[in-house]
Amino acid sequence: MIRPERPDDADAIHDLTVIAFDPMPFSDGTEAPIVRALRAAGDLTVSLVDEEDGEIIGHVAFSPVTIDGADVGWFGLGPISVRPDHQRRGVGSRLVAAGLDELRARGARGCALIGNPAVYGPMGFVGDDALTYRGLGDGLVQRVVLEGEPVDGELRFADAFEAYEDAHE
């Protein structure tokens, strides 16, 4: 069952995020604190969980982004976590689809993310060189247009993400 997070889900989402990212070589362990920081800042615009038999097995967050410094109605996807013993069963795809539906219902114009194209291509995201982020290449910057035309320019994620990126530069 996919549903919006409730206040008492915060710890379960934190633990799930830690468990999901722990084996990932690219992870520096910042994802779980980022979810908490997004929530504290009021930037967790859409936060959905997948609950099975009373346990949260998946979570996805969406927060506002700017492009070339402007709010153009776009959002960023992430972090997204599926419990390792439930991965590759469509949970992540269903969470992403439900989140994009929710964004569309709120009048969002698009959604962007940084991630593995092999994961997000099948979920409808496409690489777009016109959308940039801190000089990243290899198709890692991807987007879905929900309304209107694609946008171009430099992405800036919510402060909770950018604070960690700044600290690592």
Ligand X SMILES: CC(C)(COP(=O)(O)OP(=O)(O)OC[C@H]1O[C@@H](n2cnc3c(N)ncnc32)[C@H](O)[C@@H]1OP(=O)(O)O)[C@@H](O)C(=O)NCCC(=O)NCCS
Stretch that binds ligand X, among 17-25, 37-45, 143-151, 156-164 (CB under 6 A): 17-25
Residue nearest to ligand X (CB): 92
Count interface residues toward ligand X (CB under 6 A): 17
The answer to whether 24 contacts ligand X (rule: CB under 6 A) is: yes
Tokens 């198709």 belong to residue? 139
Alpha helices, DSSP H only, in the chain?
10-21, 31-40, 91-105, 117-120, 159-168
| Whether the Cβ atoms of residue 21 and residue 29 lie closer than 8 Å to each other | yes
Separation CA 20–CA 164 (nearest Å)? 19
CB of 6 to ligand X, least distance (A): 21
The answer to whether 82 contacts ligand X (rule: CB under 6 A) is: yes
> Which residue's CB is nearer to ligand X, number 42 or number 84?
84
The answer to whether 87 contacts ligand X (rule: CB under 6 A) is: yes
CB of 86 to ligand X, least distance (A): 7
Residue 159 CB partners (closer than 8 Å, separation 6+)? 37, 41, 43
> Which residue's CB is nearer to ligand X, number 93 or number 132?
93
Residue 92's nearest CA partner among 36, 16, 155 is: 16
The answer to whether 119 contacts ligand X (rule: CB under 6 A) is: yes
Helix (H, G, I), strand (E, B) or coil at 165: helix
Separation CA 64–CA 8 (nearest Å)? 23
CB of 127 to ligand X, least distance (A): 14
The answer to whether 56 contacts ligand X (rule: CB under 6 A) is: no
Separation CA 101–CA 54 (nearest Å)? 24
The answer to whether 80 contacts ligand X (rule: CB under 6 A) is: yes
Tokens 């879905």 belong to residue? 144
Q: Which residues bind ligand X (CB under 6 A)?
A: 20-21, 24, 80-82, 87-93, 115, 118-119, 122
